[in-house]
Amino acid sequence: RVGVRRGQRARFRVTLWNTSPRTVEVHYRLEGLSFMSLKYSSRRGLAPGMSESVELFAEQLPVGEHLGGLIYSAEESGPELFRCPIYLRVPEMEPNLLEVQVCERIAAQ
């Protein structure tokens, strides 16, 4: 299946804020979502009060329910510090039918 918005890749963003009083170095990896890829800025330290965003892309969205996570660690491929769970439900629908349903709901309001 093709991604959302008339063939463009599906794109999601997760932002991490450093609320600790010191600079931290954070590494990311995806688990359980083999059809997705990551894009993020350089691996510099994240200063106190600063944020960093990670973008997740899916070239194709397979129909079904998908559960995985964005894993955060202190070192490349290191042990998990914490995770951002990701749940995607991709219905089996024709793209035009979905557009019609959205427009009908907007018009009904």
Say yes or no to pLDDT of 1 above 50: no
Q: Which pLDDT band holds residue 21 (cuts at 50, 70, 90)?
A: very high
Mean pLDDT of the chain: 81
CB-based contacts of 28: which residues, under 8 Å, 6+ apart?
Answer: 38, 40, 54, 70, 71, 72, 73
pLDDT at 3: 44
Q: Is the pTM of this model over 0.85?
A: no
Q: How many CA atoms lie within 13 A of 48 on its CB side?
A: 3
Cα–Cα distances in angstroms (integers) from residue 47 to residues 9, 14, 77, in the given order:
31, 18, 22
Q: Ranked by mean pLDDT, which of 38-47, 71-80, 97-106 comes out on top?
A: 71-80
> What value does the mean pLDDT take over residues 2-17?
71
